[in-house]
Structure 1
Amino acid sequence: MELRQLEYFVAVAEEASFTRAAERVRISQPGVSAQVRELERELGATLIDRSTRTASLTDAGRAALEHARAALACSDAMKQAVGDVTGLIRGRLTVGMVIGCAITPFFDALAAFHHAHPGVEITLLENHSARLLRDVQSGAVDLALIGTADPTPVGSNTLTIISEPLVALVPPGHLLAKQAAVTMADLADHQIVCMPEGTGVRTVLDRACTLHRVRPTITVQASAADAIADLAARGLGVAILTESMSRDYHGRLIALPIADIDEPALLALVWSGTKSPALDRLVRYCRDTFATGL
């Protein structure tokens, strides 16, 4: 039984997919599958149910998962103990970022950490904010930069990076373009282009719709702010983005405050409560970089 087999098994269990697990551990999907099968052969039991599109745990797999995680944690702890003696920080960190992330200080922090601590292996992945938060809370992801509507998400440590209002963006000549601001009732009369469910911007918008009892028509959803702005500029709907995002489109689109949305959209750094010198140091790098880079 090899540690890499346990690592691949845990990745498949947490991702519920051989394909996503392969992306996470950065080897081919057939390689992951072969190693998990070898582990199953050695244990004499099927750990993963492959009969459906979702890779799910069998009873044996559920019994093995906790022990596999414990074995990997012990391996990391041993490496770290040796690193403490030699003055090196070692280990592995899985870092997540919201799809379409363009936050330069975050990349600066990761780069500075990597150069200072090359013994720490970093796996970087993209996903929607809601999924990243769940992965942080479950321990599958160590640290993530997410969009959220909640200042203190349950089950994680949080550092709010940006807190800002939503705005509506329309091209010159649009019916709303001459208004100083818009309301949720105004938006209900127009088609909307916005981010998908699971993002912080969309959560704030959906809560405002519920509060004001309006149901705007969302015609297009996109994860990237550039795509949303481009579609709005072409007349496909009113774009909903944050105030800072809207600055990139000055001249092409007019940004209108939404007068009756009081809740801000947040960009936040969230991380697990795992005791890890590598994670503690990365959080420190992020804190310092964001304090000077925004």
Structure 2
Amino acid sequence: MELRQLEYFVAVVEEASFTRAAERVHVAQPGVSAQIRRLERELGHDLLDRSGRTVTVTDVGAAVLPLARAALRSVESAKRTVEEMAGLVRGVVRVGMVVSCGIMDLPELLSSFHALHPGVEITLAEANSDALISSLVDGSLDFALIGYAGDAPAGLSVRVLADEPLVAAVAPGDPWYGRESVPLDELLERRLICLPPGTGLRGALDEACGARRPRIAFEASAPPMVITLAQRGLGPAILALSMTEGLHAVRITHPSPRGRLAFAWRTEGPHSPAARALIRLCSMAAPSETAASSP
């Protein structure tokens, strides 16, 4: 029994086609068929049912499939372990970050990582949190700095950098200037300034509002513009408390929405040695008690 036979078998089952499996493993279709036939002869049973329009797995094949996958995962794990122990951290790490985040200097961390591992290619893209989360889940990104409300997004592990209340930030002359707090019901009567849907701050506000819709008069893609609009007296800006320099922060109550900023990565790998090394380095920048899980 050879590992390539197990790889071809898993590929055929997952693709339900010898042709697509051959394209996936970059081998001619007759070669895939021949190797699986050899595997079946060695085991003494058919693993695949080839009688229909699509290839399906037999009962014996269904029993073998999880074992084949486990064997392939073990081999991949062994390869990664050898690479790490030999200090051969290399490859590509794909990183994402929310737009205009001032709390964490991610470029500085990436610079430190590059100095430690110059053989690793790093890519960086900015997007809103919803897009970053989707890219982490589907594997397009290895690691990202995201904002979110409530529990950690499904399928991701996080290390929280900030967990702050949302406030209504106003300039001198605003009717709320000098107030300590405002109930959400009263907030919904005002025309607000906020980040767009898909961002962590907007998600926290929308979650607090429930079925009600806040009146967003001005929408800006980055916090500096939201702050500038509020400073010009155009209304309350919905911001995290740490973003309100130059404005008066009014606490929102009943309920009190909160937003989180966090490093995030897929809970389930496989993570490359390079990605794991970056996760470890960046996780050291956050308080250890805020970790939801570790790589």
TM-score by length of 1: 0.67
Whichever of the two has the greater Rg, that structure is: 2
Alpha-carbon distance in 1 for matches of 2:189, 2:81: 62
Partner of 1:286: 282
SS in 2 for 1:289: coil
Letter paired with 1:287: S
Which structure is higher in helix share? 1
Alpha-carbon distance in 2 for matches of 1:136, 1:191: 34
Structure 2 CA distance for partners of 1:260 and 1:82, relative to 1, 3 Å: same
| C-alpha contact 1:80 1:91 (8 A) present in aligned 2 | no
Partner of 1:140: 140
Number of equivalences: 220
SS in 2 for 1:164: strand
Offset of residue 148 of structure 1: 0.4
Unaligned runs of 5+ in 1: 1-62, 70-75
Aligned: 1:254 with 2:248: yes
Partner of 2:221: 223
Task: Determine which of 24, 38, 63 is the counterpart of 1:67.
Answer: 24
Q: Deviations over 1:237-262 (max 9, x none)?
A: 2100001111x32xxx2111112233
Aligned: 1:149 with 2:106: no
Map 1:5-154 to 2 at 5 A: 67=24, 84=84, 87-154=87-154
Offset of residue 151 of structure 1: 2.9
Structure 2 CA distance for partners of 1:68 and 1:131, relative to 1, 3 Å: farther
Offset of residue 88 of structure 1: 2.4
Alpha-carbon distance in 1 for matches of 2:141, 2:192: 33
TM-score by length of 2: 0.67
Bigger shift: 189-198 or 254-263?
A: 254-263
Bigger shift: 139-148 or 184-193?
A: 184-193
Aligned: 1:159 with 2:159: yes
Letter paired with 1:257: R
Letter paired with 1:274: P
Unaligned runs of 5+ in 2: 1-19, 27-75, 289-295
| C-alpha contact 1:166 1:261 (8 A) present in aligned 2 | no
Offset of residue 107 of structure 1: 2.7
Map 1:161-240 to 2 at 5 A: 161-210=161-210, 214-240=212-238
| C-alpha contact 2:160 2:286 (8 A) present in aligned 1 | no
Partner of 2:271: 275
Structure 2 CA distance for partners of 1:110 and 1:151, relative to 1, 3 Å: farther
Partner of 1:266: 260
Letter paired with 1:153: P
Bigger shift: 173-182 or 157-166?
A: 173-182
Q: Deviations over 1:70-125 (max 9, x none)?
A: xxxxxx99x96885575321010100001122334433321211100011100000
Structure 2 CA distance for partners of 1:189 and 1:275, relative to 1, 3 Å: closer
Alpha-carbon distance in 2 for matches of 1:227, 1:88: 43
Structure 2 CA distance for partners of 1:68 and 1:128, relative to 1, 3 Å: farther
Bigger shift: 137-146 or 255-264?
A: 255-264
SS in 2 for 1:165: strand
Letter paired with 1:174: D
Alpha-carbon distance in 2 for matches of 1:85, 1:271: 23
Alpha-carbon distance in 2 for matches of 1:103, 1:67: 42
Query: CA RMSD for the aligned pairs?
Result: 2.9
| C-alpha contact 1:91 1:119 (8 A) present in aligned 2 | yes
